Structure 1
Amino acid sequence: MPNTTDLLDANEALIDEGKVRIVAPLFRDYGGNIEFSGSIATLKIFEDNSLVREMLSEAGNDRVLVVDGGGSLRCALLGNRLGELAVKNGWAGLVIYGAIRDASVIAKLPLGVKALNTYPLKSLKRGLGDKNIPVRFGEVTFTPGEWLYADLDGIVVSSVPLSA
């Protein structure tokens, strides 16, 4: 995958047209893959990771799961077991607007993971939330089927696939 800086340099016109957006620099890198990209799938949840498990149980097909956890840092929405499930089912990565746990194990997985921070407490399990709807955080709307590119420099979202 070309890095985000090269993608932005090669697609300046798409930025001006609003087809390429840059996510505010809120996230830390936790996964073993620091560069990842793929088509977006989304969840909108709050302190309940039941739907994260449900989505990661599906074939990932190199998609990126974008989780709007409301920015809560009071519990983790991803841990080592769900990270391993994501790898097993072919997900490219996750962007979590919330916290994760088991960071030392997740760091060894061949998976991209960006989150706000870590927190050792697991989430509730009520099965509440919405799947595959547009979600907004970090000054960007993430729409299912759009493209996400992530590396150490940040996260870029595009309505069309990008190349450098």
Structure 2
Amino acid sequence: MMSTADLYDLHGEALQSLPLQLRSFGGVPRFEGPIRTVRCFQDNALVKRILQTPGDGAVLVVDGSGSLQTALMGDMIAQSAVDAGWAGVVIHGCVRDSVALARMPLGVKALGTNPRKSAKEGTGEIDVVVEFGGVSFRPGARLHADEDGVLVER
């Protein structure tokens, strides 16, 4: 996989660069794939549901509205993603079980951690355009992530 810096040098404005300083939590620091999305707020039922379906190398982008109040993914949901063939998860919110996530063959980027569980109501939306940090994440567009950040095709 080409670095995000080299990709940006090659393609420039054809790519959106996420300015948020997400932390890397997964055992795979570099990942890429077509985007799937979930929009939810302090409720991870849809995240769990989608990550149990075949990922085929996709990246799930979760717009959790930047909430730091609850975690939207932990080790059990992440293991489902690994088992289902997802390349990674980018969360505009928190994760938990960070030590376990670091040992998993999955790319994970998020704002931070919180041990508090989220609700399980299933509220939110799947496969809609989500936006945070000034970047639009469209289902099907390609996402590239590494140690330097996240790039998304326009």
Please tell me whether residue 145 in structure 1 is matched to residue 140 in structure 2: yes
Query: Contact 1:99/1:116 (CA < 8 Å) preserved in 2?
Result: yes
Asked which structure has the greater CA Rg, the reply is: 1
Give 1:52 shift. 0.4
2:9 equivalent in structure 1: 9
Match among 91, 94, 116 for residue 86 of structure 2 = 91
Deviations 1:14-36 (A, max 9, x none): x1xxx310001320000000000
Q: Which runs of 5+ in 1 are unaligned?
A: 160-164
Moved over 4 A (4+): none
TM-score by length of 1: 0.92
Residues 1:106 and 2:101 aligned together: yes
Percent identical among aligned pairs is: 45
TM-score when normalising by structure 2: 0.98
Q: What is the number of residues matched between the two proteins?
A: 154
Q: Which amino acid aligns with 1:154?
A: G
Return 5+ residue gaps in structure 2 as ranges: none
SS at match of 1:104: helix
Q: In the TM superposition, what are the counterparts of 1:68-83 in structure 2 within 5 Å?
A: 68-83=63-78
Residue 10 of structure 1 and its aligned partner are, at CA, apart by: 1.2
User: What is the Cα-based RMSD across aligned positions, in Å?
Assistant: 0.7
- Determine which structure has the larger strand proportion and give its number: 2
Alignment of 1:12-27 (within 5 A): 12=12, 15=13, 19-27=14-22
> Quick check: 1:50–1:126 contact (8 Å CA) kept in 2?
yes
Structure 2 CA distance for aligned equivalents of residues 11 and 26 of structure 1: 22
8 A Cα contact 1:26 1:138, kept in partner: no
